[in-house]
Amino acid sequence: MIHKINPEATAITPQNDPWDPIRSLQRHGKHVLTSVELTVTNLCNMRCEHCAVGETLTMTEGPRIPLAQVMKRLDQVDRLETISITGGEPSFHEATVRDYIVPLLKYARERGVRSQLNSNLTLDLTRYEMMAPYLDVMHISFNYTSAEDFHRVGFVRAGRPVQRETSEKLYERMMENTAALSRGGMFVSAESMINYRTHERLPDIHRIIAEMGCRRHEVHPMYPSSFAADLPLLSLNDFRASIHRLLDSRDPDIWMLFGTLPFYACSSLEEDRRLLGRLRRERNVTVRNDPDGRNRLNVNLFTGDVYVTDFSDVPAQGSIHTDTLEQVFEKWKTHPLNGSVDCYCPAAQCCGPNLLVVDSYYKDVDFTTRKAVEDSAS
C-alpha cells in the first residue's frame, strides 16, 4: 500500500526538515529509505569549477527510462517522504520540464511526498514557473558577490572561452529569476559552499541571498570530488572560523541550514564542540545529518543505475531494471563502507559522518568506536 502524507501537516521549517535522516532513524529505530534523488539530465549550460558531478556532464544524451517504469519503482518505496530532482541543469530543455519533471512533481504532490529541484535558475523564468505549483523547494547554488565572480567560477571547465557579457546576462537572469520566484511564494533555498574562494566572503554572499528573498541559506563545506578534486582544500580551522564569522553577521530571520559538516560531538577538540553548541543554540539555525546512503538513494534515469550519492566514487549498487529500491538499500546497509560510518549518538542528534568527509579529514578515525562527549549535547 502507498502511504500518503498530509502536506499541510508537514510544512518545511527548521523544526521539520524531511530530508534529515535522523527523523526516520528516531521513528523506526534504524535507517530506512525515505528519500530518492533522480538524475534527469547530464546536460548543463554551465561548467562550474566546483561541480560535484562535473565529470558526468555531457553535450548530448539519449532517451530516459519511461516515466511509468520510474514511478512504479517509486510506488514500491512505502515510506517515501522526499524526492530530489537533479542534473546537470534539469531545465536545460523545456521539453524535459514539461514531459518529465512536472509529471514527477505532480506524482509527488499527489502522494504527499516533498520535492526539491536543484537548478542554476539561469534559463527562462517560464520553465521554473511551470514547476511552481507542484514544487516544494527550489534549490540553487549561490557563491558569488558579483558578476565577475560568477564568470570566474561558472565556466572554468567549459573547454572554450565564454564571453564576459554572456555570463553577465546569465548572472543577472539568475538573480532576477530568484527574486521573482521568491516574490511569487516559492521556497528558494540558496546553497553556498565554504571553499578557498568563499570562506572569508560568506557574510556578503549571505546578504545578497537575503536581498533576493530566499527563504533558506544552506551552507556546506566543499570536499574534493569530481571537478573540485584538484581545488585547494581548506583546513578544519578555516571551516570553523568561516562558520563563526557567518553566524556573527547573518540575518537571524532567515533559516540557515548547515550540512555535511566535518565536526562531530565525539571530537576531542573543545573548539569543535563549542561550535556545535553554538549552532544548536542559535535561532533559525539547523544542522542536517547527511542523507546519502542513510535515508536516500540516487537513480540515474538514463541507465537505471542506483547509487548511494550522485557524486561519490562508490559504484552503482543496483539497477531499477532489475531491483526494487528497497532491495538496493538493504544491500547497501550490509556494505563495509556503510558500516564504517554507521554510528549514532542520540543525545547529540548525530548519525555519523559523510564518507567524503572521512576520506578528506579523518582517514585514521574509527567512528564506530566513538561516542559524543557529554558537554556537546548541552
User: What are the residues binding ligand SF4 (CB under 6 A)?
Assistant: 264-266, 343-345, 348, 350-353, 367, 370-372
CB of 370 to ligand SF4, least distance (A): 4
Residue closer to ligand SF4 (CB basis): 156 or 276: 276
Amino acid code (one letter) for 352: G
Cα–Cα nearest to 184, from 131, 139, 115, 250: 131
Q: Is the separation of the CB atoms in 297 and 306 below 8 Å?
A: yes
Q: Is 107 left (phi over 0), alpha (psi -120 to 50) or beta?
A: alpha
Residue closer to ligand SF4 (CB basis): 176 or 374: 374
Write the CB contacts of 220 (distance below 8 Å, at least 6 apart in sequence).
Answer: 191, 192, 193, 194, 258, 259, 260
CB of 271 to ligand SF4, least distance (A): 15
Cell, residue 35: 528519500
CB of 335 to ligand SF4, least distance (A): 18
Residue closer to ligand SF4 (CB basis): 219 or 341: 341
Write the CB contacts of 60 (distance below 8 Å, at least 6 apart in sequence).
Answer: 43
Residue closer to ligand SF4 (CB basis): 52 or 266: 266
Residue closer to ligand SF4 (CB basis): 115 or 349: 349
Q: Is the separation of the CB atoms in 151 and 174 below 8 Å?
A: no
CB of 190 to ligand SF4, least distance (A): 27
CB of 256 to ligand SF4, least distance (A): 20
CB of 67 to ligand SF4, least distance (A): 38
- Compute the Cα dihedral for 233, 236, 238, 239 and give only its sign: positive
Q: Which residues of 154-192 are buried (b: 16+ CB within 10 A; e: fewer)?
A: bbbbeeeebeeeebeebbebbbebbebbbeeebbbbbbb
Residue closer to ligand SF4 (CB basis): 104 or 358: 358
CB of 346 to ligand SF4, least distance (A): 9
Cα–Cα nearest to 320, from 333, 338, 335, 307: 307
Residue closer to ligand SF4 (CB basis): 272 or 305: 272
